[in-house]
Amino acid sequence: MARRDPHSYYDDAQPKIASFDLEFRVDFGKKRLAAKVKLSLESEVKGVLHLDSRDLKINNVSLEDGTQLKYKLHPKDPVLGSLFEIEFDSPSKNVVVEYEVPENASALQWLNPSQTKGKSQPFLFSQCQAIHARSLVPLQDSPAVRVTYTASITVPAALTAVMAAGSAGTSEDPVKGEKTHFFKMPQPIPPYLFAFAAGRIAAKEVGPRTRVWAEPEVLDKAAYEFEETENMIREAEALFGPYEWERFDLLVLPPSFPYGGMENPRLTFLTPTLIAGDRSLVAVVVHELAHSWTGNLVTNANAEHFWINEGFTVWAERRILEKLYGSEAAVMSYAQGFSSLRGALDRFGADSPFTCLVTRLEGVSPDDVFSEVPYEKGCLFLRLLEDTVSRPSWDRFIRAYIEKYRFTSIETAELRSFIEKHFPGIMEKVGGDEWLLSPGIPGNCPQVQSQRLEFISNLSAAFKHGTYPSSAEISAMNTSEKLVYLHGLGRPLSREECAWLETNFELKSVSNSEILCEWLTIAASSDYEPAFPKIRAFLSEVGRMKYLRPIYKAMANSERTRALASEIYSATKDSLHQLSANVIGQEIEKYGKG
């Protein structure tokens, strides 16, 4: 027996699940799912089958013909959940489990109508990456396993259910006032890409293979924001080969969604904070799209190799950005990425093992060590390889890599030898093992620069000497440039400096969520009282962890902001996503420790 994934009870001496057929009935009143799943194994299981589960209430386990099976739900491990052990008296390829998914399922957020735009209907969505699929379906919840599936989701007839899968029709039960939505996922996925949502949503076509789903109140704006999606897909296909998932639909979630985007196949999930009105934040869509190759086709074998998903995707995202919006856009993205990497190194400490690309996560929850390191250090390592072997050779390599590993899951060692095979001696030449296995940023890290970036950085550095940009210079800055400028300012700033920024960058009326977050972080760390109402409003509305963490962290700086933070947290914590609540809880806990 061998367990190769520190986050799963999957035992590779036992057959893998090849597919499942799932039924969910959503009970919004009791906030739970009634569920039934038939798991089909790739070969006959003899003896026992070990599955992952978390907080599932198992009602019945049987063979397809109804023969009851013995099972044991082991005590819950805080990271892994409960080992769910099924005993087979005779060899079988199937097992049927009837169960309930409780309200606190770690993959779910149940929203009250007040947490939606329309205020009239509840909403439900899932977020399974990295190890939450097991709270929805008992299975081998390791990305080393790939499954296809069919599913049906029954919801009140006023609501619509969507999945990261192909749709396969609906049926209605007028007596019960319910509607069942059917789905089929033909492409094999790692379990973390299982995803669904249900709410009062509608769709609008924005391209031949893209429709945008959103609450009706924001649908037109969302459709406008994401109208360029087909261009993105075409550029990505030119770089990485055919798009293999048929459709690339987008689902705009309510603001409590804890991430910017999640690359659920065929249906990317997005935060509504991307809807800026001017398409300035669509890089997140490019990122999630890029995962269709790097991540969803070629998948990290477990969370210790997460950089294989995210490093490649950030690198790919920036190549697509360069094609669509020019090299300056890619340079600005590198610059923002680099400062976020510095932030992560400060947070962990530059010697921390969590700043390595390959991590050791036995006993550690992936959510607790989520950071920019796999994204940005991973991207920079790949950029170094690209610069070293030349872009045309690297692009051929990437194509070969995707072709070779499509629909499989790999560890870093596999990738390392594939790179060496293509470019013998390259690892030694670039210090590959230091990049992969040592903490911090290696000395040969690529410096991505441009004149414009240097100009903005210098302008930003001059602020503390009292040299401020002219209004012409400010209006010439695009969103990324403003972000680089604001991020480069020291903090805390004085009241006068904050007031100057507030007036001259028109921050009182800014609605762009990235700029707003950057500003509120400055204001919070500077104890700038005029911005407190905005801080309160933003933190009460938005659940995106990328925004919550820096603002709450900045509020540690003074007694008054600490008090404000605790007050806002108490008022909002019941309506936050569990992941967001944990992140803020951790930040607030640090206040006490100074």
State the binding partner of 259 from Zn ion, ligand BES, none, CB within 5 to 8 A by kind. Answer: ligand BES
State the binding partner of 262 from Zn ion, ligand BES, none, CB within 5 to 8 A by kind. Answer: ligand BES
Q: How far apart are CA 137 and CA 151, in angstroms?
A: 11
Nearer to ligand BES, 199 or 366 (CB): 366
The span of 190-198, 307-315, 381-389, 432-440 binding Zn ion (CB under 5 A) equals 307-315
Q: How far apart are CA 318 and CA 320, in angstroms?
A: 5
Q: What are phi and psi of 44, to 5 degrees?
A: -65, 135
Range 312-351, binding Zn ion (CB under 5 A): 313
List the end-to-end C-alpha distance of the chain, in Å, as a whole number. Answer: 47
Residue pointed to by tokens 């399922």: 105
Helix axis angle, 513-525 to 495-504, nearest 10° = 170
State the binding partner of 130 from ligand BES, Zn ion, none, CB within 5 to 8 A by kind. Answer: ligand BES
SS3 sequence of 220-268: HHHHHHCCCHHHHHHHHHHHHCCCCCCCCEEEECCCCCCCCEECCCCEE
Q: How far is CA 447 from CA 371, 380, 428, in A?
A: 21, 9, 20
Q: How far apart are CA 22 and CA 35, in angstroms?
A: 7
State the binding partner of 261 from Zn ion, ligand BES, none, CB within 5 to 8 A by kind. Answer: ligand BES
Give buried/exposed letters for 375-400 (b at 16+ CB in 10 A, else e).
bbbbbbbbbbbbeebeeeebeebbee
Nearer to Zn ion, 259 or 325 (CB): 259
Kind and range of the H or E run holding 334: helix 327-348
293 is a contact residue toward ligand BES (CB under 6 A): no
Q: Minimum distance between the CB of residue 476 and Zn ion, rounded to whole angstroms?
A: 31
The catalytic position among 10, 99, 334, 375 is 375
Q: Does 375 participate in catalysis according to the annotation?
A: yes
The catalytic position among 215, 228, 235, 288 is 288
The span of 182-190, 226-234, 287-295, 433-441 binding ligand BES (CB under 6 A) equals 287-295
Nearer to ligand BES, 356 or 427 (CB): 356
Q: Minimum distance between the CB of residue 192 and ligand BES, rounded to whole angstroms?
A: 8
Characterise 344 by phi-psi region: left (phi > 0), alpha (psi -120 to 50), beta (else): alpha
**DSSP state string for 172-203:** EETTTTEEEEEEEEEEEE-GGG--EEEES-EE
Q: How far apart are CA 287 and CA 338, in angstroms?
A: 17
Could you tell me which residues come within 8 angstroms of residue 248 by beta carbon, excluding any fewer than 6 positions away? 209, 210, 229, 233, 266, 268, 289, 292
288 is a contact residue toward ligand BES (CB under 6 A): yes
The span of 285-293, 391-399, 416-424, 518-526 binding ligand BES (CB under 6 A) equals 285-293
Taking CB under 6 A as the criterion, the residue among 63, 69, 157, 284 binding ligand BES is: 284
Q: Minimum distance between the CB of residue 371 and ligand BES, rounded to whole angstroms?
A: 10
State the binding partner of 591 from ligand BES, Zn ion, none, CB within 5 to 8 A by kind. Answer: none
518 is a contact residue toward ligand BES (CB under 6 A): no
Binding mask 266-305 for Zn ion (x = CB under 5 A): ----------------------------------------
Q: How far apart are CA 413 and CA 421, in angstroms?
A: 12
Binding mask 190-229 for ligand BES (x = CB under 6 A): ----------------------------------------
Question: Residue 104 carries which side chain, given as an amino acid letter?
Answer: N
The span of 106-114, 226-234, 261-269, 483-491 binding ligand BES (CB under 6 A) equals 261-269
The span of 286-294, 326-334, 462-470, 514-522 binding ligand BES (CB under 6 A) equals 286-294
292 is a contact residue toward ligand BES (CB under 6 A): no
* Parallel, antiparallel or unpaired: strands 147-156 and 123-126: unpaired
* Parallel, antiparallel or unpaired: strands 196-199 and 160-163: antiparallel
Binding mask 368-387 for ligand BES (x = CB under 6 A): --x----x------------
Residue pointed to by tokens 């007028």: 174
Question: Residue 132 carries which side chain, given as an amino acid letter?
Answer: H
Q: Minimum distance between the CB of residue 291 and Zn ion, rounded to whole angstroms?
A: 6
Q: Does 243 participate in catalysis according to the annotation?
A: no
Q: What angle do CA 557, 533, 514 make, to 5 degrees?
A: 75
129 is a contact residue toward ligand BES (CB under 6 A): yes
Nearer to ligand BES, 15 or 260 (CB): 260
State the binding partner of 141 from Zn ion, ligand BES, none, CB within 5 to 8 A by kind. Answer: none
Give 130's DSSP letter. T
Handedness of CA 543, 547, 551, 554 (dihedral sign): positive
Q: Minimum distance between the CB of residue 591 and ligand BES, rounded to whole angstroms?
A: 25
Q: What angle do CA 360, 364, 367 make, to 5 degrees?
A: 110
Nearer to Zn ion, 130 or 430 (CB): 130
Nearer to Zn ion, 82 or 313 (CB): 313
Characterise 169 by phi-psi region: left (phi > 0), alpha (psi -120 to 50), beta (else): left
Taking CB under 6 A as the criterion, the residue among 259, 397, 401, 463 binding ligand BES is: 259
Q: How many CB atoms lie within 10 A of CB 7?
A: 25
The span of 306-314, 540-548, 566-574, 580-588 binding Zn ion (CB under 5 A) equals 306-314
Taking CB under 6 A as the criterion, the residue among 7, 134, 181, 546 binding ligand BES is: 546
Nearer to Zn ion, 289 or 486 (CB): 289
Q: How far apart are CA 338 and CA 354, in angstroms?
A: 17
Collapse the DSSP code of 453 into the 3-class scheme (helix H, G, I; strand E, B; otherwise coil) and give the result: helix
Binding mask 80-119 for ligand BES (x = CB under 6 A): ----------------------------------------
State the binding partner of 401 from ligand BES, Zn ion, none, CB within 5 to 8 A by kind. Answer: none
311 is a contact residue toward ligand BES (CB under 6 A): no
Structure tokens at 515: 């700029």
Catalytic positions are 288, 375
Residues that bind ligand BES (CB under 6 A): 129-130, 259-263, 283-284, 287-288, 291, 310, 370, 375, 546
Residues that bind Zn ion (CB under 5 A): 310, 313
